[in-house]
Amino acid sequence: MKTAIVTGVSRRIGIGYAIARRLAAAPMNVFVCSWEPHDAGQDWGADPLGAEGVVAALREELPEGAGQVEHLAVDLAEPGAPGRVVAAAREWFGRVEVLVANHARSAEGGLGELTAEELDLCWAVNVRATLLLVQEFAAQADLEGGRVITFTSGQHLEPMPTELPYSVTKGAIEQMTRSLAAPLSTRGITVNCVNPGPVDTGYAAPEDVVELARRHPQGRWGTPEDTARLVGWLAGEESGWVTGQTLVSDGGWSIRTGVPPRD
């Protein structure tokens, strides 16, 4: 059975949780990572079950015959954290064939509110940790083929001037996709980036949820399962001819110009 690492699995309502559930049901063994203090410091807050409770809930939802799920709480702002993640996953399951770098540090702030501290933290988590995870993943001597899936948030499609530390560093992930894919393609390792569009993971205010749905061509937000289905395909054998791409999976949000809002 293949093994996948999925980072950013900290809340049951989140994209990472849905991805981990889908891959484990595939079946794959799944090694999930989380860092609860980040969520606790955001407006949406940490999952009430706590990190271990979230993993327990994930295991309980899996069908018979699913892969195993193991967990590591790790702060990806630490330089050595990516290496520990891959090493721990290999200790549990052996070779790792799929890496889903779903983690992110969120941060608001326009040009006038920028601080060096927040810029450094977003760089460390969103960019440096992703690159080092890919480095450690690709360094597996016994790896034959493989899948790397990273995440951007649409910064290449429209500006996000009130979230500069977040938007600039997440935009860098889209930019790194081809540069990572090119050297790894000769080893049968694909590297693709996903822009999931607006997904309802509990971060938006109720009035914003209603307004975005009104403006969306399909009249709704995306769900974590919408993203998980795409990641499940990218992680599988059928996607082997696709690499170096940023896939926009937003239900038409990025092409909404000219689509009248719903009443």
Helix 81-93 to helix 129-138 angle, to the nearest 10 degrees?
Answer: 40
Active site residue 166: yes
Collapsing DSSP to helix, strand or coil, 227 comes out as helix
Name the token pair of 144. Answer: 């034959």
Q: What is the largest CA-CA distance in the chain?
A: 57
Residue 123 identity? W
SS3 content of the chain, % helix, strand, coil (to 5): 45, 15, 40
From the list 45, 64, 53, the residue with the least C-alpha distance to 17 is 53
**Cα angle at 40 between 36 and 45, to 5 degrees?**
115
Q: Which of 166, 172, 177, 224 is catalytic?
A: 166
The Cα–Cα gap between 125 and 16 comes to 16
Q: Which residue has the tokens 């999952």?
A: 47
Element (DSSP H or E) covering residue 25: helix 15-25
**Do you find a cis peptide bond into 27, omega within 30 degrees of 0?**
yes
* Residues noted as catalytic: 166
